[in-house]
A and B are shown apart, each in its own frame.
Chain A
Amino acid sequence: MNLVEGWYAVAIADDIEPGTSAGTRLFDRELVVWRDLAGVSHVWEDRCPHRGMRLSFGFVRGNHIACLYHGWAYDTAGQCRAIPAHPDLAVPETIKVATYHSVEAGGLILVHSSLGAEALPPPAPAPTGHALRSLYVDLAPDVVAERLLQDFTARDDGSYAGTLAGAPVLVFLQPFTATRTGLHLVLAGPGDAVAVSAASEALRNAFEASPTALEAAE
């Protein structure tokens, strides 16, 4: 399995509503995914430079995200713009959150796992479909990838194509931690969203009940 640095889906775009933030992980690194009130999403390192608090615990005001601890507020480039305890201070340019490259495509938020990298390859063309939901499997990413390949086909965009509840679906895999894997489900044709979602839960449960292909074959 080839789970290397690259583009990965980290959220269903609609699940990050304007003015909200959420934490996630990619290769065990903590990321904050947030959407400003103008509707633009951002993916950053989930760490306030001040005390290391997760920014995903914070709150979005306008086009800034502020840390829950002391209210340090960051603009959409990750630059700190306000420190409430020092209202007259011109905030140094060095107080900046590390940011990831991210795009929204096909109803997903995709991020490149290389923090701050430059000259990245663009993500593969986005799928068309209805991005349904995310779900999380208590198994290592390579184990989940191996299980998916039993019934699904790997595609160039990094997703896995298959069928759930009789409907065509694409599954985008997120290497969450060494022991957990995110799956982001896209309905790629006609189908009953609720039934497809339920089938994805059954798939998750089956993976966890029988984690390796070897065991499944026995």
Chain B
Amino acid sequence: MSLVLHDYELDADCYTVRLFLSILGIPAEMIAVDVYPGHEQRSPAYLALNPRGSLPILVAGNLVLTEAEAILCYLARSEAAGAAFLPDEAAAFGAVMSWLFFARGPLGAATAARLTAMLEAPGDADMLERQARAAFRVMEDHMTARHLSGASWFVGDGPTLADIALFPPIVLSRDFGIDHDEYPALRRWMRRMRTIPGFITMPGIPDYH
């Protein structure tokens, strides 16, 4: 089935989907949406496609999917190469889903902080930064324990949707003024993310490292 991704290059959630598509080696037609300054995602035509007025939007035949984490889950089930990224086994499945909800919940402050800093989205920058740091600390403590246990990824023995969904907000955190100085375990993990075959960057993520 041919895939169409309605995409904005500077959007972290769109990057999440582009990253997973690239890792899966799945081609998709990319349609660039003028989010800034045009707010095209809230135009009548786009609201007809996605009443939430958000990106990314994945169109697969008659199926229209929104929310990056839901699109990740769909691709993990619809594409054979995606199966390992969303394990069937109950405990691992639950752990991955827990991190996906974390990405959309507490870690959403980081995405919002970035949009406030870069694209003039409304928001309380100080509060969002505090919330983002609190979420990053949860991730840092988790990956510290994982490292001390000899593990390399958020869940299980290989990369999962948890890693894909959690990566963009922290790797892009310098866009809103949070350095990686306090996150040695996340620095190690972010370098490891770059070793996944098919890994791609976006503006704000150096190709060099």
Contact = CB atoms under 8 A, between A and B. Distances in A.
Interface in A139-198: 180, 182, 193-194, 197-198
Contact of A201 (B141, B149, B179): B141
Interface stretch (A18-26, A84-92, A118-126): A18-26
B148 A134 contact: no
A12 interface: yes
Interface stretch (B17-25, B78-86, B185-193): B185-193
Contact of A17 (B141, B149, B181, B191): B191
A133 interface: yes
B191 A22 contact: no
A132 interface: yes
Interface bracket on B? 10 to 19
A132 B191 contact: no
B174 interface: yes
A17 B194 CA distance: 15
Contact of B187 (A22, A68, A197): A22
Interface string B186-209: 011001000000000000001011
A35 to B, nearest CB: 12
A197 B148 contact: yes
A65 to B, nearest CB: 11
Contact of A20 (B145, B149, B182, B191): B191
Contacts, number: 53
Nearest to B207: A59
Interface residues of A, number: 28
B27 interface: no
B144 interface: yes
A197 B147 CA distance: 11
B184 interface: yes
A57 B206 contact: yes
Interface string B115-152: 00000000000000000000000000100110011000
Interface string A193-215: 11001100100000000000000
Nearest to B148: A193
B77 interface: no
B180 interface: yes
B189 to A, nearest CB: 12
Contacts of A182: 182
A59 B188 contact: no
A72 to B, nearest CB: 13
24 contacts: A15-B187, A17-B188, A17-B191, A22-B181, A22-B184, A23-B179, A23-B180, A23-B181, A24-B181, A25-B181, A56-B179, A57-B174, A58-B208, A59-B208, A59-B209, A66-B208, A68-B206, A132-B148, A133-B144, A135-B144, A194-B145, A194-B148, A197-B145, A198-B145
Interface of B: 141, 144-145, 148-149, 174, 179-182, 184-185, 187-188, 191, 206, 208-209
